[in-house]
Amino acid sequence: MRPILMKGHERPLTFLKYNRDGDLLFSCAKDHTPTVWFADNGERLGTYRGHNGAVWTCDVSRDSMRLITGSADQTVKLWNVQKGTQLYTFNFGSPARSVEFAIGDKLAVITTDPFMELTSAIHVKRIAGDPTEQTEESVLVIKGPQGRINRAVWGPLNRTIISAGEDAVIRIWDSETGKLLKESDKESGHKKTITSLTKAADGSHFLSGSLDKSAKLWDTRTLTLIKTYSTERPVNAVAMSPLLDHVVLGGGQDASAVTTTDHRAGKFEAKFYDKILQEEIGGVKGHFGPINALAFNPDGKSFSSGGEDGYVRLHHFDPDYFNIKI
């Protein structure tokens, strides 16, 4: 499995997202410029210029026409995917950390960081079909708990919003009223900051990764803990194969501690675990810094990782990957 190295970012990667067809890969980094690539050969297709802060997150609509990005410059922007033009800018008083389109692309959930006297918040915005009719107003604002909310995603049928972040608690909110419905259990839950959250293709369960060196699999409706995957280093990114029962964890030490440890090249690896047996089945080495982002192609036949080293590595699986037996 030879990776394709995609160099287009000047700064560390923060987020990766495939479109639904799996032919485009969108990458966000701390260099202000989200980029779109061809997902089969890693060719750079174009960039989206306009942010003037690190871009933390993005999502792409089901029809691959719209891109939404959230940035440390305190804005969330809507883009035309094909032309690279800005369609609309939402302004906030604090950095935007997470964005996700709802099913149907008529709503978006956005989380903003605590900043000055503002607390963290979850905003639901209506996304107009025609960009000229887009408005700034929020349908719902949930004033967040303490600390940053690193990720907020839609639950089944857009009825709930699942959020997780610095206080290590996963919460499920009613997306109509903003009422808190469920919280993860202190005993079985994460012990440190939750860095990442990814849903299964069918939305029935989701995976969370944390700095407590573990990832956990949860039932979306009941918030019951199903599985725990333990590793040796903090988990910055998680991904789930849509095809096989595999989960992938990526991470490494804090960027500030990297220079003080082992100097061997490319020792930061994406670790594959059997989803059911919770056992490690392999790893993909290669990054020269912690892995900050992971994404599976919707067809399950390739995955990509983005690192602190500014590279995106695109891996197309060999045929024998699909026959791994434990």
Using one digit for the tens of pLDDT, what is the confidence trace for 105-154?
999 999 999 998 889 999 999 999 999 999 999 999 999 677 899 999 99
For residue 242, the SS3 value is coil
pLDDT of residue 154: 97
Using one digit for the tens of pLDDT, what is the confidence trace for 267-289?
689 999 999 999 999 999 989 89
State the Cα angle at 143 between 28 and 79, rounded to 5°. Answer: 30
Using one digit for the tens of pLDDT, what is the confidence trace for 197-225?
999 999 999 999 999 999 999 999 999 99
pLDDT of residue 117: 87
Question: In b/e form, how buried is each residue of 276-293, taking b as 16+ CB within 10 angstroms?
Answer: eeeeeeeebebbebbbbb
Smallest CA-to-CA distance from 279 within 271, 267, 269, 291 is with 271
Contact between 111 and 144 (Cβ < 8 Å): yes
Question: In b/e form, how buried is each residue of 86-105, taking b as 16+ CB within 10 angstroms?
Answer: bbbebebebbbbbbbbbeeb
- Mean pLDDT of the 80-90 span: 97
φ, ψ dihedrals at 158, nearest 5°: 60, 15
pLDDT of residue 85: 97
How many whole angstroms separate alpha carbon 105 and alpha carbon 100? Answer: 9
pLDDT of residue 1: 84
- Mean pLDDT of the 257-264 span: 55
Q: What pTM was estimated for this model as a whole?
A: 0.93
How many whole angstroms separate alpha carbon 206 and alpha carbon 77? Answer: 27
How many whole angstroms separate alpha carbon 323 and alpha carbon 326? Answer: 10
